[in-house]
Structure 1
């Protein structure tokens, strides 16, 4: 990934991060759906299909684009229309399934989840080398709180096809938290098992720092004395070591080349500001070029407002 210009730009939520083609598609989809044309659903489906045929064997890029589109289109009829028109298109089935999962997670209504599972299993048959059907099955395992043995079996199917798949590692990290189906010890064991073997610039390299930010926010959420003392978490030697390595490497131009690299820099900037390491955080803000992700900033309030305030503090050193 080539980082954006270090010149400060107006912060903005960019679902596509620095994926220019995905950004153009999202802009077109907004315009088409807002226009309300009679054939708008079919036109949107054609546009989505066109993008997802590009770089179709780049699993990292494909996973990222499918995740963004599934969330963006989860309240529309586009995924269902495409899958109905092309019932043997694996990408169409995965998009419909993932949109269903996003919708079920948001509404708390699991009624459509069985159909999403069916779509994924059919897609897996159609495209045996594709990890994305298994990624959505992993999301279903999280949503339905399946047993760890069954969930890890699905996770293994993903990494068998794409060893360092970012979405799979982060999904397992969330699944193993006390907020979902695990414990803090299970998260630490999972992260420890990765530390020595995951390349420093792999798409899943931010798994450990993500788990630390999740734990920090969990402590904050408890309130009381624990919440007030949460900042002390960043002085733990293992946490400090993770931050040191990330601050040194991640902001280097072209260190990361995966699709969600700017999301990792958002996580890094947030963590460094939480640890009151503003000089280090400034380098992450500069590398971001104003691209803001919803998480982890939303924990503190409106993401854009929180990001801008933190960036200003890093720049002023106050």
Structure 2
């Protein structure tokens, strides 16, 4: 009987896997961390040593209070400055007190410190840079997201963390980046627990507006739990509820929309861990060509290769459940 079951499973995979590729872009068309139409020209210019477009796009996010975009752009520009410094050095020379420059500078310093064995010592030296960025634009929550990361890296006590968190939410109560930074501090991998992490994420999601990325916060808590393989028990129902909430959020956006790409990559990963193969395939179809480093870089050194490998695995698992003489199941069916 085990041999027969294995034979039937293989036959189902052979029959249905090709059909299930419908709606999925070919491997060679999948993009990792593709910038949007505003950031892409700034990165191209920075690659040529010009800082002007980067300064302009960040100034726009500040003036328009586009805090989520600002947070994303600051992270990407800081990561780019870590490997290509010419444009950033020129920006510092030309406008050393530019609030946008100060923010990228603080993010870059925190990122570098986290990559060093002397993390805590280096981060303590970074504190004044974060203060300067926060004072340069008092209404901006993004420096306080950087401060939350700083608090995590310096082993700050909960009282200090709560003070920084209060400053962050005072400026933007539903800022996704700040919530993610707080969630990481509260995780079992750092200074909290899985229960504390889930409680925080679920409260934030409950208070969030429709369409807010905060509805994916419990899925981040689920990912942290599932990948930690911790003995602390989290009921399966709680994990499924987190995934369902993120699926509902994903369905509010159009297919192949780059804005929710990281959330969709996250929920695919969680659904794979939960072995909810049809739901994972539906999200892969909605995702289109937009792969993101997170969460796959937490699982492998090559995030794109890992994404493509697991995408193929999802198709095989769905195909193995279909009847030999039937068609593919409705996408998203349990």
Bucket of the pairwise TM-score, normalised by the shorter protein: 0.7 to 0.9
Verify: 1:52 aligned to 2:51, yes or no: no
Unaligned stretches of 5+ residues in structure 1:
33-39
Counterpart of 1:300 in structure 2 is: 299
Give the 3 Å change call, closer, same or farther, for CA 313–177 of structure 1 in structure 2.
Answer: same
- For these two proteins, the number of residue pairs brought into alignment is 290
Mapping of 1:142-291 within 5 angstroms? 142-219=152-229, 236-254=236-254, 260-291=259-290
Give the 3 Å change call, closer, same or farther, for CA 160–51 of structure 1 in structure 2.
Answer: same
Counterpart of 1:311 in structure 2 is: 311
Mapping of 1:54-133 within 5 angstroms? 54-56=60-62, 57-77=65-85, 78-110=87-119, 112-133=122-143
Pairwise CA RMSD of aligned residues? 2.7
Give the whole-Å Cα distance in 1 for the aligned partners of 2:293 and 2:160: 30
Give the whole-Å Cα distance in 1 for the aligned partners of 2:103 and 2:276: 41
TM-score, length of structure 2 as denominator length = 0.78
Q: Which runs of 4+ in 1 moved over 4 A?
A: 254-257
Give the whole-Å Cα distance in 2 for the aligned partners of 1:116 and 1:70: 15
Counterpart of 1:14 in structure 2 is: 33
The CA deviation at 1:282 is 1.4
Give the whole-Å Cα distance in 2 for the aligned partners of 1:148 and 1:26: 37
| TM-superposition CA deviations, 1:117-169 (whole Å, max 9, x none) | 21222232221111122121111111101111111211221121112111111
Give the whole-Å Cα distance in 2 for the aligned partners of 1:121 and 1:256: 38
Give the 3 Å change call, closer, same or farther, for CA 256–198 of structure 1 in structure 2.
Answer: farther
The CA deviation at 1:294 is 1.6
The CA deviation at 1:88 is 2.2
Counterpart of 2:4 in structure 1 is: none
Give the whole-Å Cα distance in 2 for the aligned partners of 1:91 and 1:21: 16
Give the whole-Å Cα distance in 2 for the aligned partners of 1:260 and 1:105: 27
Give the 3 Å change call, closer, same or farther, for CA 268–179 of structure 1 in structure 2.
Answer: same
Q: Give yes or no for contact 1:60–1:166 (8 Å, CA) kept in 2.
A: yes
